[in-house]
Structure 1
Amino acid sequence: MLTLVDLHTGDTITLAILDSLEIRDPYTLLAVHTGGELAAHGPTGGATAADSHAATLALDSTTLAATRPTPLHDPAATALPTTCWVDLPTDLAAALRPALDDARTAVLVLLDRTGGRLAAVGPFPTHATALGYQPHRYDGPGPDGRHITGTVWLHPDHGPWLRELANHAQPVWCTNWNHLAAEWIAPRLGLPATWQHVPVHAGGIRFGHQSKLSPLYAWTARRPLAVLDDEFGGKDPFAADQRTADGAPTLLRPVNPYHGLRRADIDAVLTWLRQL
């Protein structure tokens, strides 16, 4: 219990602090918006608590179409019981997509489009763990040369996906990590330490362009180039189109920064390579 006291008036309020990871009957409130966005709110203790949040959502959003309290399945369990699945109309199941403003949720929604159903799993301690990322402790020089310590989240699926790309193209690192990408990140993803890196001093958008692209274009010269990155400038697509028109096919594939690299990103590059 936590009691808050207003020092000027003497008014007090007592709150019960509930650890979301220790909820005995965890539920999430699924919210569907008119554009097909699906958001998960919670976790909460029980269906009634989850359902009570619907009125607040309706006041805050003009696009809310429907809500439904949904039980959370324990992520430590290896199989989903039949009772965890919620039936959906097939047209709704086909139209649903993640809401970007739901990126920090600790709930993972499994959507079976073919079967017209969904299930919710959680709670997870972080958004990264819900997506399958694993923490790696880093203690060494940072991109600017100063010593840093912290956690780097890496996804075990990314290594095999990138090795698959390497069967069709030459992968190179182009990141502020520079040589540390091959020396530190690569072995933790099961990637060879021999992949080259294009030296960059800083990333970010400057004058409408991702600053990493300039040294990458110079290194690539006239060869076809596909770039996977979570940040491009407003002028970058036009520059890529111009490179393509000048005989250097260029693909800029934006990676959703809230979810990181996904299989659809890899498939998009593979499809583009086959069309060259």
Structure 2
Amino acid sequence: MLVFLDVDGPLNPFAADEKPPGFVEHRFRLRGWSRKHPLRMWLNPAHGPALLAAGDVQLVWATTWNHQANTLVAPAIGLPALPVVDCANTGPGWKFDAVARYAYGRPLVWFDDDFGLYPAAREGFLARREGLVTELVSVDPRTGITDAHLATLRECVR
């Protein structure tokens, strides 16, 4: 089973008022980001091992971070380098078209906080995947991935 991961929202609860329990603050210097003020992120080091322990899954980045997710985020949460769905210029279908191409014919679980942004694209994506296990796990960007989200993943893998 493919497991698609977005960074901001699911792994980095950027909308939280304060650092959620279990999360660690990181400061990343990114190209195009202010050198004076590095990007602050909260990441939970338990997420990597929990995702890896979910069973027979292939983790894949589905994030506008693209390959930077492997160099910055993955090491911070204990993940190896993962395949990346190119989400840089996905057009009006948001990430749905890119994920659909990558996942073609395979079951998937997808963690993201933005499934509601393009309802027509989401419904088209789900319609094309009829008959395939397709679990869109909506994550609140104030909490990030929780134990309940991970339980959903484990249930889908079973």
Tell me if TM exceeds 0.5.
yes
Instruction: Tell me by how many angstroms 1:238 deviates.
Output: 2.7
> Which of 136, 157, 161 is the aligned partner of 2:26?
136
Residue 239 of structure 1 aligns with an amino acid whose one-letter code is G
Change (3 A) 1:189 1:183: same
Query: Which residue does the alignment assign to 1:226?
Result: 109
Equivalent residue, structure 1, for 2:120? 235
* Pairs within 5 Å for 1:255-266: 255-266=139-150
Question: For residue 196 of structure 1, what is the aligned residue in structure 2?
Answer: 83
Could you say what secondary structure the match of 1:271 adopts? helix
**Matched residue, 2:51:** 162
Query: What stretches of structure 1 move > 3 A for 4+ residues in a row?
Result: none
- CA spacing shift, 1:224–1:263, aligned 2, 3 Å: same
The 1:243/1:271 distance shift into structure 2, 3 A limit, reads: farther
SS in 2 for 1:214: helix
Letter in 2 for 1:260: G
Of structures 1 and 2, the larger Rg is shown by 1
Q: Which whole-Å CA distance do the structure 1 matches of 2:76 and 2:155 have between them? A: 27
Question: Which secondary structure does the structure 2 equivalent of 1:140 belong to?
Answer: coil
Amino acid at match of 2:67: H
Indicate if the aligned counterparts of 1:243 and 1:249 stay in contact, CA closer than 8 A: no
Structure with a larger share of its residues in strand: 1
**Gaps spanning 5+ residues in structure 1: where?**
1-102, 105-126
The equivalent of 2:62 in structure 1 is: 174
**Cα deviation digits, residues 58-89 of structure 1 (max 9, x gap):** xxxxxxxxxxxxxxxxxxxxxxxxxxxxxxxx
Distance change >3 Å, CA 237–CA 150, structure 1 → 2: closer
Relative contact order (alpha carbons < 8 A, sep ≥ 6): 1 or 2 greater? 2
Structure 1 counterpart of 2:9:
none
User: 1:270–1:236: structure 2 CA closer, same or farther, 3 Å change rule?
Assistant: farther
RMSD of aligned Cα (Å): 2.2
Q: What's the CA shift string for 1:228-268, capped at 9, x where partnerless? A: 101113335533541342x4331111011110111111111
Partner Cα distance (2:21, 2:128) in 1: 35
Task: Give TM-score scaled by structure 2 length.
Answer: 0.76
Aligned to 1:216: 99
